[in-house]
């Protein structure tokens, strides 16, 4: 089955909108869809996992630690971290590429940095 995504509260909306425009079939929701705004990281991860969505974030400081603790007890679709320095166009291309190249059986209980999945020259 194809991956579905949700941006967390700090995910650049331009990335979400750009992915939706680039590939209409991609299911990529805003944080408001799951009411993620204002939630602690562990609760945001829980809601994304319950919805079967890969969480997309820019937060590389706290999410990795919370995710590591979370998957000790629960299964979860992965987390994709997009570093702030990656241009929005490259971020959009990367998410679209993830969607085309992977399905939900490939993405379970791991964290991935988008710029490391698809290094750009």
User: Residues with Cβ < 8 Å from 73, sequence gap 6 or more?
Assistant: none
Report the relative pairing of strands 79-81 and 111-113 from DSSP bridges.
Answer: parallel
Domain residue ranges of the chain, discontinuous segments joined by +: 4-117
Res. 94 pLDDT band, cuts 50 70 90: very high
% of the chain at pLDDT higher than 90: 88
State the pLDDT at residue 1: 87
Q: Do the Cβ atoms of 66 and 42 come closer than 8 Å?
A: yes
pLDDT at 121 over 50: no
- Among 46, 114, 110, CA closest to 78: 110
* DSSP H or E stretch at residue 55: strand 54-57
Q: What is the pTM of this model?
A: 0.94
């Amino acid at each position: 089955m194809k991956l579905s995504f949700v941006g967390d509260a700090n995910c650049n909306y331009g990335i979400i909108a750009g992915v939706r425009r680039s590939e209409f079939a991609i299911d990529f929701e805003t944080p408001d869809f799951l009411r993620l705004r204002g939630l602690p990281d562990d609760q945001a991860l829980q809601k994304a996992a319950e919805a079967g969505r890969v969480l997309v974030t820019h937060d590389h400081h706290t999410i990795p630690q919370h995710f590591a603790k979370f998957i000790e007890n629960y299964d979860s679709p992965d987390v994709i971290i997009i570093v702030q320095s990656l241009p929005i166009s490259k971020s959009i291309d990367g998410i679209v590429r993830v969607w085309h190249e992977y399905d939900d059986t490939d993405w379970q209980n791991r964290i991935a940095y988008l710029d490391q999945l698809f290094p750009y020259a």
